[in-house]
Each structure stands twice: as structure tokens, then as C-alpha cells.
Amino acid sequence: MSRYDALGLDRFLCRYRGMDVCPVNGVTLHIEGLFDFTAKSTDHDEITDAFRLRILVPDKFPRYIPLVDELDGRIPRWGAYHINPDGSLCLGSRLRLLATLASDPTLIGFAKNCLVPFLFAISRKLQQGGDFAFGELAHGSFGEIADYMNLFGLETVDQVKRTILYLGMKKRRAIDCRAHVGAVDGWVYAASIGELEDFGS
């Protein structure tokens, strides 16, 4: 199976027909074009919109998250619209995105579960104002720590630090450390960590 087959590139390009592969030096896959979507949630009405995007997919995807830029300047370049300092879209914390991707680690999975919800929230905010549709994190380390506490059911910053350390370890050593990471609901916590072991190491 080729790398592009594993990524589900053909399915992605078939679904998002305005997107196309661009030539690029190196191993990063460069996809660019008009990304159209229709989405709704239980609390918000359906929205159909399209943004011109550049998606740079690293060769180690899904362990590394694609970098996404909005090219027409529709999204204001400041923090309230979750734009990173380099101009890329802030889709969420890395571990949250990895956890989201775990169930479908393909480009379609990334688009459906990571990119479309963000663009839905952005489009709604641009059209109607107000807060993000699904809530939002504080920026920087504070927001990441809060998200990791929520993601893993942790209670302290120290537990977050030890969890991140655990995820960076090789599996054999990490198994010995699992019991010492945090005194939380062991089954839920272990399942959450287990989903990310292959992605995080």
C-alpha cells in the first residue's frame, strides 16, 4: 500500500473537489484549493461555506498534524479567531487533535473531525458574531493544560506534566510508569492514554 493510499488521498480529493495536490519539494504533501463544506450541530443551524486553504501534510501524518492556512484573508488574523502567530489555523491542542484522529487517521478523518468543525465555528462567528460554536480554549500553555486536564480526566498541572512525559516514552518503559501518572478513574484514563500511545511515541 502506498503512502497516499494509507492517507486516503483519492477519497479526500473526490469528496473535496475544489482541492488539488500541488508540487512541493521534500516529503510534505501540499494540497490547496477551495474547501467546501456543509455542517450543523445539535445546537446550531446548518451552514454551507467554502474557504481557500493550503494544507501541508507531514510525511509522519497522523502522528504529526497537518498545517492549514486560509489564503484569502477572510478570517481575521488575530487571537479571537484562533490564528497562530505563523498565520496557520489553530485547530486545537496537539493531543486533542491526535485523540480525535485516532478513530479515523486519514485525510477524510482529519477534514471531517478536525477541520470542518473549526471552519463551521469560524463561519458562524463571521456571519453571526458571538462566541465559538463549540467553546474555545485560552491561548498558549494555559489553554493546552486545561484541555489536557479535560481530555484525560486529570486534576492537577503535575498530572498533566507526567502524562505528557509518559506519552513521550517508549512503550516498554511507559507501561511501568502508567500506575504512577495520576490517581484518577483508571479505566477511562488508561483507555485515553492507550489510544494515543502509537501516535505520541
* 18-65 pLDDT per residue, tens: 999 998 777 889 999 999 999 887 777 888 999 999 999 999 999 899
Residue 134 lies in a domain: no
pLDDT (0 to 100) of residue 191:
40
Same-domain status, 80 and 166: no
Residue 106 lies in a domain: yes
Best-predicted range by mean pLDDT (49-53, 75-79, 142-146, 161-165): 49-53
Who's near 96: CB < 8 A, 6+ residues apart?
Answer: 147, 151
Same-domain status, 20 and 95: yes
Cα(71)–Cα(100) distance, rounded to whole angstroms?
A: 25
Burial of residue 60 (CB within 10 Å: 0-12, 13-18, 19+) is: exposed
Same-domain status, 120 and 145: no
Same-domain status, 167 and 107: no
Residue 63 lies in a domain: yes
Same-domain status, 123 and 151: no
Q: Point out the domain boundary residue: 70, 102, 128.
A: 128
Lowest mean pLDDT among 3-12, 81-90, 130-139, 144-153: 130-139
pLDDT above 90 (res 96): no
Same-domain status, 77 and 170: no
Q: Which CA distances in Å does 166 have to 9, 46, 101, 146, 175?
A: 32, 40, 20, 18, 9
Q: Point out the domain boundary residue: 98, 128, 158.
A: 128
Q: Point out the domain boundary residue: 100, 128, 156.
A: 128
Same-domain status, 7 and 35: yes
Same-domain status, 85 and 147: no
Please state the domain count of the chain: 2
More confident position, 80 or 65: 65
Same-domain status, 58 and 83: yes
Instruction: For the sheet with 67-70, list strands across it.
Output: 19-22, 29-41, 44-57, 67-70
Give the rounded distance of the alpha carbon of 113 from its chain centre: 8
Q: What domain range is 58 assigned to?
A: 3-128
Cα(198)–Cα(36) distance, rounded to whole angstroms?
A: 31
pLDDT tens for each residue of 175-193? 343 343 443 333 333 444 4
Who's near 106: CB < 8 A, 6+ residues apart?
Answer: 6, 7, 8, 11, 12, 62
More confident position, 68 or 185: 68
Same-domain status, 90 and 17: yes
What predicted TM-score, i.e. pTM, was given to this entire model?
0.71
Confidence of residue 83 (pLDDT cuts 50, 70, 90): confident
Say if CB 145 and CB 164 are below 8 A apart: no
